[in-house]
Chain A
């Protein structure tokens, strides 16, 4: 009985889903008898089976719904209200089925409400029907009531009954597997006997409408189908995979033995295996329509809930894809359709006002394209509000405002995939909570898919999802990097380019390799480099041009062998944390190779962590992504030591011909952009080269520029900084560990006076006082960098990350006597902070404030003066800051002395 019940549950759930979507179709096309007949048949089947299994509640409900549908068939118009009622009944049926599945027995409860409503509805129609009041009877034996109430009706139904009874299903509970036989073939065939003349076209239609209901069988409806446990299929798949591997191994051996007598049988084995593989793959294939089945109902409900007229158009429902893939995309698709209905489409009034048809359209289409399947979800709504997204992205600190202005619309649109991102002004019950699109993206990416958005204001939005057909077997490019071979999934590969000796050369920008590819620069990563080995400077070999999402990059490998169909085997649990590998496989020669995950590589390219020497760094980089990081330019000073300077201070990187260096008054200079620029070595160990190229880091402040002479520019790194302050050297702020290397962070303030004498500030007044100072800066780097400096100058330092926190601290902590604030901060700027302080009165109104600014312009000066900011200091001018603080204290003491 258990097996039988399970079969019933699965089948009924499928039937109910079909009825759901069919009903919605019927509502739109009430004259289509085929649909109605199909619905009627499905509900009837459920009712019949319920009766047989002794499920009175389900049966009574199904019966009442069937009766109402019978009225439709008799010509009663299918009103929206009646369809809604039937849909509600179906929901109840599903709920009961759900309980049944969980508990194994029908839950207690009454359905009088629905049943009486259904009855009222069907009575409200035309002529009274003879056989309604049967429903509360608990033990209905299938043949009796069915025959009794339906016989007066239709001929075709009678046939249906006959077919239903004749089928070997429910009664022989013992051979449970095919238990309630799919009634489709019987239905299609039976009428043919009785009414041969009339039925011919109907039969064809039957077959058609049956197709989506054939769920896991996937085959044409005329073929006998059986339900097979998914595990069985999975096992079969694994075995076939093994067979493919073995065949590949044999082929490899045969290749080496030319005269082999095995050749012919091997050829046959090869063919048979290929066919077998294809066959097994097919059993796993299901039409994507299965994932769409619930959507018409979803859209109908939404349409009612939101008061919008929505039409759902589905194309390519028959497109087949792997069961596993289907499972993963099912929910994302539903979610996206809901989103389109709620966010994408405007209200009817708005649509009419915009001159669009009142009824909005959501279009779902699927088609094959190469080895992938493309699914598009488009709506003809208002399009994404890119301005709102830009605003929101800045608010949520996803990117700097300046960066966002530079981004293309497509890039901006992608922000909706960030967790918790929602621009909906009001949260509706349907969506707007910012939950979901990130999950959608994650789900799709886990199966190697990509999602893209194209949006046009006023015209609508198109989401394009590309996913692989199957996950188990993929075509892969076998490449060599260093000593090892790797497999690169072909889906991500666009083309191969030979580079190095005699071919196109890889060029470097500041150590980052790039390749000119058809007038565009392609960032390159070396596979060996990614995997932690040292890379040779001269790049030779092949660049595999790959694309992940919109990101295009090149993977440098040493050699490319061939493509091979590989069976993806999961990574060992111990190795799954390595983001660069998607799995492993056994090649034809029996060797195990690792499958490189293009997504993982893409992430590494973006993070620019190629020089990371191992997983520790990779993980660290991941962990730090959430923390505030500072971008630093790393270069080599004299004696090969690594030095770094915050990139934000750097104006440009230059490489000049050494001959251009001139000497005036014993000081090196070059002509740079029509001016003379002094050159200062980054440390004593550096000698300006007399020939060849000389690397320079250019700093500028207003009109002035200085070239810092360095030995070699190494890298740009983005890391969270823990600076250890160097006590006795003015040319260094301190040292930090960058990429596992001890690196000196240089103090630009030390070098600027070496270039221009008047860059130096007045003499530093060292004063001892325990005044408390509030340091406000949004950048963790500057807070970390300045706090020790200020402490060394004799202050108690309190820090705040923004104006709001600063104000709160100022109110709370009476000891604060001086404020040092960054003037350029996101959100409320330093000026806003000072303005608020001045406005609040009391001690804050007169408190000395030092403003830190990257560039001190005239307008900033004027503004600072109007707010009575005591002094403006350039951000990197450590001694200037200390001097300014000294002056404040001196004047405070003077004032004190005067008062005394």
Chain B
């Protein structure tokens, strides 16, 4: 990671990303879109809601809609019996995102450090990527030891009830 940082410092304009991981895959979110990083607690499940939505939670007096990145990306439920539906409360971290005046909490397995990345490691999303992922991916950064998938926050939050059903 340090190397990546160093790289970024050398190559002119850089962008900052908050890194999160789900199932060992590293994702990046543009730092200006991230309002909060917190431990989700007291999630109230919403019956009949689209599957991506874990529930509602209270973030300092605001009601926030929590959505699960794992389910949004169509990834397999967490291993080790930690099924989301069973216990959304004992899991991971949440990233506070905002869209259209509404706050959302993106539930992830864990949050990593903030990376400063330049254009030299940037690649377009590979064309063989799953369609669902491709729609949500801005680009991929080649880090030293692994890949960082940069997610499009607006696309991530852009799912209606209908879209969710179809997916």
Chain A residues packing against B (C-beta within 8 Å): 242, 245-246, 484, 531-533, 569, 572-575, 577-578, 580-581, 584-586, 590-594, 614-616, 618
Contacts and interface: CB of A to CB of B under 8 A. Distances in A.
Contacts of A574: 49-50, 53, 65, 67, 159-161
B63 A569 contact: yes
- With most chain A CB atoms within 10 A of its CB, the pick from B50, B53, B57, B61 is B61
Interface string B15-55: 00000000000000000000000000010111111100101
B100 interface: yes
B97 to A, nearest CB: 13
Q: Could you tell me the dominant secondary structure of chain B's interface residues? A: mixed
Nearest to A241: B61
Contacts of A584: 44, 56, 63
Contacts of A586: 58, 61, 63
B165 interface: yes
The 3 closest A-B pairs by CB, nearest first: A531-B47, A615-B48, A572-B65
Given A484-B45, A574-B161, A594 B56 contact: yes
A616 B51 CA distance: 12
B130 interface: no
B102 interface: yes
Contact of A246 (B49, B55, B61, B67): B61
A594 B55 CA distance: 10
Nearest to A485: B44
A531 B44 CA distance: 14
Interface in B63-108: 63, 65, 67, 100, 102, 104
Contact of A590 (B49, B58, B65, B104): B58
7 contacts: A531-B48, A532-B47, A533-B47, A572-B65, A575-B53, A586-B61, A592-B56
A713 to B, nearest CB: 27
A625 B45 CA distance: 29
Nearest to A481: B47
B114 to A, nearest CB: 28
A87 B55 CA distance: 57
Nearest to A531: B47
Given A577-B161, A584-B63, A591-B58, A572 B47 contact: no
Contacts of B165: 616
B58 A594 contact: no
A857 B100 CA distance: 66
Nearest to B44: A592
A284 to B, nearest CB: 21
A572 B65 CA distance: 7
A162 to B, nearest CB: 50
A503 B49 CA distance: 35
Contacts of B63: 569, 572, 584-586, 592
Chain B CB within 10 A, most for which of A245, A484, A592, A594: A592
Given A584-B56, A586-B61, A592-B58, A578 B46 contact: yes
Given A484-B47, A575-B49, A594-B56, 13 more contacts: A246-B61, A484-B44, A484-B45, A531-B48, A572-B63, A572-B65, A573-B102, A574-B65, A578-B47, A586-B63, A592-B56, A594-B44, A615-B49
B71 to A, nearest CB: 13
A574 B48 CA distance: 12
Contacts of A577: 161
Nearest to A578: B48
A527 to B, nearest CB: 9
A294 to B, nearest CB: 34
Contacts of A590: 42, 58
Nearest to A587: B58
A245 B42 CA distance: 16
Contacts of A592: 42, 44, 55-58, 63
A575 B48 CA distance: 9
A246 B48 CA distance: 29
Contacts of A616: 165
Residue among A245, A572, A574 with max Cβ neighbours from chain B (10 Å): A574
A334 B102 CA distance: 36
Contacts of B44: 484, 584, 591-594
A615 B46 CA distance: 12
B65 A575 contact: yes
B46 to A, nearest CB: 6
**Residue from B50, B57, B161, B165 having most chain A Cβ neighbours under 10 A:** B161
B48 A532 contact: yes
B33 to A, nearest CB: 17
A580 B61 contact: no
A593 B47 CA distance: 12
A586 B60 CA distance: 10
B48 A591 contact: no
A896 to B, nearest CB: 56
Nearest to B65: A572
B12 to A, nearest CB: 39
Interface string B145-167: 00000000000000111000100
A868 to B, nearest CB: 54
Contacts of B102: 572-573
A618 B63 CA distance: 26
A570 to B, nearest CB: 9
A592 B165 CA distance: 25
Contacts of A484: 44-45, 47
A246 B58 CA distance: 12
Contacts of B104: 572
Contacts of A593: 44
